[in-house]
Amino acid sequence: MNKQTCPFHAGKEYQPFSEEQLDNPYNFYRRARNEEPIFYSELLNAYVITRYDDVLEILKNPTVFSSEKSLQAIGEFSPEVINELRQGFPVVSLISSDGDKHKRLRAPLQKAFAPQRLTKAEESIRATANQLVDNFIHKGTVDIMSEFAHPLPLEVILKMYGVPLDKMPLVKKAGNSTSALFSTPLTLERQIECARNYVALQNYLASLIEERRSAPGDDLISELQTSDLTLPEQVLLLCEIVIAGHKTTASLIGTAVKLLVENSHIWQSLQENPALIPTAVEEVLRYDTSAPTMIRVTTQETTLSGLKIPEDSRVLLLYGSANRDSKQYENGENFDINRFQNAPVNHLAFSHGKHHCLGYNLARRHAKVAIEILSTRIPNLRIVPNQELNHIPTLLDRGYQNLKLEWD
């Protein structure tokens, strides 16, 4: 029997950690949107939402679809893991907060992403990107993820924090560990290791906050000392920004390079007309978003597209699927850098509404500058053939673990 005519049971066939769906989830997404757009996944204990309109309706209704428990782990934490996490600070999260609490936590951080600070940040992005390219341009080959895409946003954020760059390994290790802890099935031993790394980052940032309270400087951590945020709130929010911000931006840069370089005519057109780069970045964000999912939890029984969802149910929003919905985007499965030239940018790569990503403009600037510099300095950039490309095995971040490039 042809696979396409087999009975479709989306809840069973949705296996986001399988190699097939990590590599390409979009064939499954397309079929789910057409045949079973909302389904229950036992693996994730969540109702999974695939269509653009349904995802948008949820994002517009934070009272019924709460963010408060959005950072629950894939499975239950063991007592050993909980004990490790208790060595750190009580959980505070911008992502998993609602209403007045979310507004209070978000307000001081908005200054960090104000236009004047972003202009200064872009100068830092450009200088850092050029320095990173200097480090490998004479080699003729590079793993763009480890030598450019990851260190670029991480260095820029650490400079915004006033963190010494020799602490980058600690932050990167903690970022990988925290993402894995909350969005990947792990062994008990690995969960404990990840929890310890997360707590180590918390303690380091707490020490920096104490330093800035006695000797403030021109940096984000010093600026936060004028707010009403408590020490635990500052620590956890700074952790959240550096972890979520650098990892998703690194994945965005890597995916953008992959999509643009493998289409040599597109790469050439960007060299000839850099004005196309911003809309090309928007299409990358839509086509293969680096933040492909998010959890909400229902506060009451509700109905979505005719399906009843009980109170206190986990709801998994598939931004990656919504951004390919053919009812919203004509030829949505095609990559077209001109898509947003004369159309509003309405993809959901940065979510929507009250939880619209705080660092969306910083992420865009990172990707834009990265493409500008790579296309100018290494115009004949190409992907090393026959390499095995593996995606990060998490729900919350979609990107390549490695991506090798070469040039003459």
Token pair in block for residue 61: 């209704």
Sign of the alpha-carbon torsion through 55, 325, 398, 22: positive
pLDDT of residue 2: 43
Q: Which domain holds residue 215?
A: 3-406
Question: Which of 243, 253, 278 is CA-nearest to residue 144?
Answer: 253
Cα radius of gyration (the chain): 21
**Ramachandran class of 389: left when φ > 0, alpha when ψ lies in -120 to 50, beta otherwise:** beta
pLDDT mean by block of 10 residues, the chain; 408 residues = 63 94 96 97 95 97 84 68 85 62 78 76 93 97 96 89 83 79 81 90 92 90 89 88 85 97 94 96 97 93 96 96 97 96 94 82 94 96 95 89 95
What CATH number corresponds to the domain at position 107?
Answer: 1.10.630.10
pLDDT of residue 118: 81
Which residues touch 28 (CB under 8 Å, ≥6 apart)? 10, 13, 14, 21
Assign 375 to helix, strand or coil.
Answer: helix
Question: Which of 356, 243, 232, 239 is CA-nearest to residue 294?
Answer: 356
Helices (H), ranges, 310-383: 319-322, 360-377
Which amino acid is residue 309, in one-letter code? Answer: I
The C-alpha atoms of residue 352 and residue 357 are separated, in whole angstroms, by: 8
pLDDT of residue 1: 36
- The continuous run of DSSP H or E covering 280 comes out as helix 277-287
The full DSSP string for 32-88 is: HHHH-SEEEETTTTEEEE-SHHHHHHHHT-TTTEESTTTT--SSPPPHHHHHHHTTS
Token pair in block for residue 76: 């239950």
* Cα separation values, 209 from 106, 157, 222, Å: 18, 16, 7
CB atoms within 10 A of CB 193: 18
What is the number of structural domains in the chain? Answer: 1
pLDDT of residue 86: 87
Hey, what long-range contacts does 302-310 have (CB within 8 A, 24 or more apart)?
Answer: 302/64, 302/65, 304/38, 304/49, 304/54, 304/57, 304/58, 305/37, 305/38, 305/51, 305/54, 307/38, 307/47, 309/47
